[in-house]
């Protein structure tokens, strides 16, 4: 989901640098050095390590024939399974499809065991599961249990009165104080995550108390301190696992434990802001690992699962290894957000400069950390909460967008971890153009941000221009435009004559699945064909690209990213990537010699390049070679 920066956690600040362990909720947790000393399980084969996961944003993926809603559907997903199978996909992860008022596009669930009418029915899910099974594929559900919808029966009962049996299923607090006119003040100064101009606390007139809703008022946070809440969540998880799901992507799962007392946040947004990010007090809170181990013990340990936790705001190695270490008893892997947060200062809807060396440093760091400490990575650069990768990390102009998209594909298929592809990434969909009027943007975060800009800067032309620039570069809407299937009306997303819920990108007649699957008569592969071929290479050489060792060879180079991967039996491959619009030369180390260059993003098949000494690269060029 989500939109916040790194937290400054409070529980370890007083620990000395020489401590070999620290106490965390009654457990003795090994440090990185201790983990390194144990026998590595990193290369141990597991199906969920080698799986290629494809994320579907159901509202925008595919509607089914005869539907007039303008929304994607579960039947639409089922219609496209052969397409996904041909691409090389093993696991389909769908963003939430459960019943929801859609205040935040399904991340506000009002019934965990029913399907939202926009998408279909439970019978449609059963059909989808059956068709996936026929193709040897699996389904990963999106589990949203930090919060519910304010229309969920649990919350409706909770806010009924202070004496309600479910009152403490949510987080209620009395006002901190009252203004002179009697208006109650919220319990602390935490800002709402999807609209930092607003308080994260919402006043209930009936019971005269505030409830915590970190994201929007329509998404009240569950009180995980309550054992009955946790038992209800285990019941939901069992429901979906028994129905045939293979596991869960867990939405903002590192927010489920809050620091008791709800202290005020530091005033990091500066003067003029009444509310500030309270990350320090709810990101990886004091009981998080206790709860994650309980999830594993009560549910996950009973099935052969794939699990990935969405855990923005944390970059501490020891903290992350406590969750994804091979013996952690918590989750298989998490989404580490350092790379997709590379251009974010303290809040998501803002900008900061970055360069290729910073990008390389992030990727190399987490490759090495997991290899050295028996952890496991997720590999991703796109999802439903981030702009398009070709626009963010390369050049999305008509001249270079295809080269950039294939460069990013080559990088991802050669990195260790479980690979996640987001819908449309495989054809190089880019951000919406800056010429779109603001009314085309539908996301609650964008709407709240633009309202804030108008409230604060309506008379400041430069600030308003900056606000629009941030939307053009960072809005979540960019990832949510309808899938571009064919050069026909509505891009084949929904029937002709039906208005899609969100505007289709203007370039759908030239950028679409139909055209890219067929390819063309030029000497290079389309983005889709490149992905399909590259995924075959990854699977054929999983011992290298999934499980192998990783060493960067270009740490000081400002434009290229070069690394080699090596399997346990000594098979070595070299990856050379030029992240610039300029032609560059990379000087090979004396001990590196290439047997052959297998592929690149400029040509079909093998690449003709020198095998020793100096390699020249064109703009945004990437090549993959087998070492002697």
pLDDT digits (tens, 9 = 90+) for 489-500: 999 999 999 999
35: pLDDT strictly greater than 80: no
Q: How far apart are alpha carbons 106 and 122 in whole angstroms? A: 16
21: pLDDT strictly greater than 70: no
**φ, ψ of residue 576 in degrees (nearest 5):** -125, 120
Residue of 310, 425, 443, 549 marked catalytic: 310
With bands split at pLDDT 50, 70 and 90, how would you rate the model's confidence at 312?
A: very high
Beta-strand pair 201-204/209-212? antiparallel
Highest mean pLDDT among 18-22, 112-116, 269-273: 112-116
pLDDT of residue 435: 98
126: pLDDT strictly greater than 90: yes
With bands split at pLDDT 50, 70 and 90, how would you rate the model's confidence at 13?
A: very low
Average pLDDT, the chain: 93
22: pLDDT strictly greater than 90: no
Residues 177-197: tens digit of each pLDDT = 999 999 999 999 999 999 989
With bands split at pLDDT 50, 70 and 90, how would you rate the model's confidence at 15?
A: very low
In this structure, the number of other CB atoms found within 10 A of the CB of residue 182 comes to 6
Residues 356-387: tens digit of each pLDDT = 999 999 999 999 999 999 999 999 999 999 99
pLDDT of residue 350: 95
With bands split at pLDDT 50, 70 and 90, how would you rate the model's confidence at 261?
A: very high
pLDDT of residue 416: 98
pLDDT of residue 347: 87
In this structure, the number of other CB atoms found within 10 A of the CB of residue 29 comes to 18
pLDDT of residue 320: 97
25: pLDDT strictly greater than 50: no
pLDDT of residue 52: 98
Question: What is the sign, positive or negative, of the torsion defined by CA atoms of 120, 421, 313, 375?
Answer: positive
Percent of the chain past pLDDT 90, that is, above it, reads 91
pLDDT of residue 41: 86
Residues 563-576: tens digit of each pLDDT = 999 999 999 999 99
Residue recorded with tokens 């819908």: 423
pLDDT of residue 1: 58
Q: Where are the beta strands (DSSP E) in 454-501?
A: none
pLDDT of residue 18: 32
542: pLDDT strictly greater than 90: yes
Written as six digits, the tokens of 69 are 């809603």
Q: What is the mean pLDDT of residues 195-222?
A: 97
539: pLDDT strictly greater than 70: yes
99: pLDDT strictly greater than 80: yes
In this structure, the number of other CB atoms found within 10 A of the CB of residue 157 comes to 15
Beta-strand pair 177-178/184-185? antiparallel
**φ, ψ of residue 566 in degrees (nearest 5):** -140, 130
Is residue 127 annotated as part of the catalytic site, yes or no? Answer: no
110: pLDDT strictly greater than 70: yes
With bands split at pLDDT 50, 70 and 90, how would you rate the model's confidence at 29?
A: very low
With bands split at pLDDT 50, 70 and 90, how would you rate the model's confidence at 26?
A: very low
Residue of 251, 319, 330, 343 marked catalytic: 251
pLDDT of residue 38: 55
Check if the beta carbon of residue 211 is closer than 8 Å to that of residue 187. no
Is residue 608 annotated as part of the catalytic site, yes or no? Answer: no
With bands split at pLDDT 50, 70 and 90, how would you rate the model's confidence at 523?
A: confident
Residue recorded with tokens 């052959």: 596
């Amino acid at each position: 989901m989500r939109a916040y920066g790194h937290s400054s956690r409070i529980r370890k600040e007083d620990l000395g640098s020489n401590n070999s362990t620290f106490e965390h909720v009654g457990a003795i947790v090994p440090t990185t050095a201790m983990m390194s000393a144990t026998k590595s399980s990193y290369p141990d084969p597991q199906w969920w390590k080698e799986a290629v996961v494809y994320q579907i944003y159901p509202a925008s993926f595919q509607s089914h024939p005869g539907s007039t809603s303008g929304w994607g559907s579960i039947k639409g997903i089922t219609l496209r399974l052969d397409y996904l199978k041909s691409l090389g996909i093993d696991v389909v992860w769908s963003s939430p499809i459960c019943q929801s008022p859609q205040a935040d596009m399904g991340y506000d669930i009002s019934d965990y065991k029913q399907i939202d009418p926009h998408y279909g029915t439970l019978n449609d899910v059963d059909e989808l599961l059956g068709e996936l099974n026929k193709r040897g594929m699996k389904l990963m559900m999106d589990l949203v249990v930090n919060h519910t919808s304010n229309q969920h029966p649990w919350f409706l009962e909770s806010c009924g009165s202070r004496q309600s049996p479910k009152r403490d299923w949510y987080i209620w607090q009395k006002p901190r104080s009252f203004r002179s006119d009697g208006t109650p003040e919220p319990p602390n100064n935490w800002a709402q995550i999807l609209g930092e101009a607003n308080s994260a606390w919402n006043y209930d007139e009936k019971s005269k108390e505030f409830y915590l809703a970190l994201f929007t008022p329509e998404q009240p946070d569950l009180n995980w301190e309550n054992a009955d809440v946790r038992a209800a969540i285990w019941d939901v998880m069992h429901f979906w696992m028994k129905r045939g799901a293979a596991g869960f992507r867990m939405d903002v799962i590192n927010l489920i434990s809050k620091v008791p007392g709800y202290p005020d946040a530091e005033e990091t947004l500066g003067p003029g802001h009444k509310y500030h990010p309270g990350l320090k007090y709810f990101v990886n809170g004091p009981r998080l690992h206790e709860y994650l181990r309980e999830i594993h013990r009560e549910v996950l340990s009973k099935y052969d699962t794939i699990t990935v936790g969405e855990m923005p705001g944390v970059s501490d190695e020891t903290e992350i290894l406590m969750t994804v270490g091979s013996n952690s008893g918590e989750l298989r892997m998490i989404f580490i957000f350092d790379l997709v947060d590379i251009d974010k200062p303290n809040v998501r809807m803002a900008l900061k400069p970055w360069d290729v060396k910073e990008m390389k440093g992030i990727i190399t760091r987490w490759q090495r950390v997991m290899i050295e400490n028996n952890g496991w990575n997720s590999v991703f650069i796109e999802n439903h909460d981030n702009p398009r990768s070709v626009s963010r990390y390369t050049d999305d102009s008509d001249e270079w967008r295809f080269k950039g998209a294939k460069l990013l594909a080559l990088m991802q298929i050669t990195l260790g971890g479980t690979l996640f592809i987001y819908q449309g990434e495989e054809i190089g969909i880019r951000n919406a153009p800056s010429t779109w009027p603001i009314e085309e943007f539908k996301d609650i975060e964008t709407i709240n941000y633009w309202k804030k800009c108008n409230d604060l800067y309506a008379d400041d032309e430069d600030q308003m221009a900056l606000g629009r620039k941030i939307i053009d570069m960072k809005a979540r809407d960019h990832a949510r435009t309808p899938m571009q299937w064919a050069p026909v009306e509505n891009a084949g997303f929904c029937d002709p004559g039906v208005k899609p819920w969100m505007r289709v990108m203007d370039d759908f007649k030239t950028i679409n699945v139909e055209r890219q699957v067929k390819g063309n008569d030029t000497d290079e592969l389309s983005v889709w064909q490149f992905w399909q071929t590259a995924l075959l290479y990854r699977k054929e050489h999983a011992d290298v690209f999934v499980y192998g060792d990783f060493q960067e060879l270009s740490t000081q180079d400002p434009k290229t990213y070069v690394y080699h991967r090596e399997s346990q039996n000594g098979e070595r491959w070299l990856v050379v990537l030029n992240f610039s619009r300029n032609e560059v030369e990379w000087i090979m180390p004396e001990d590196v010699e290439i047997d052959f260059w297998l592929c690149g993003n400029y040509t079909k098949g093998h690449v003709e390049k020198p095998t020793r000494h100096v390699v020249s690269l064109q703009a945004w060029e990437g090549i993959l070679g087998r070492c002697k």
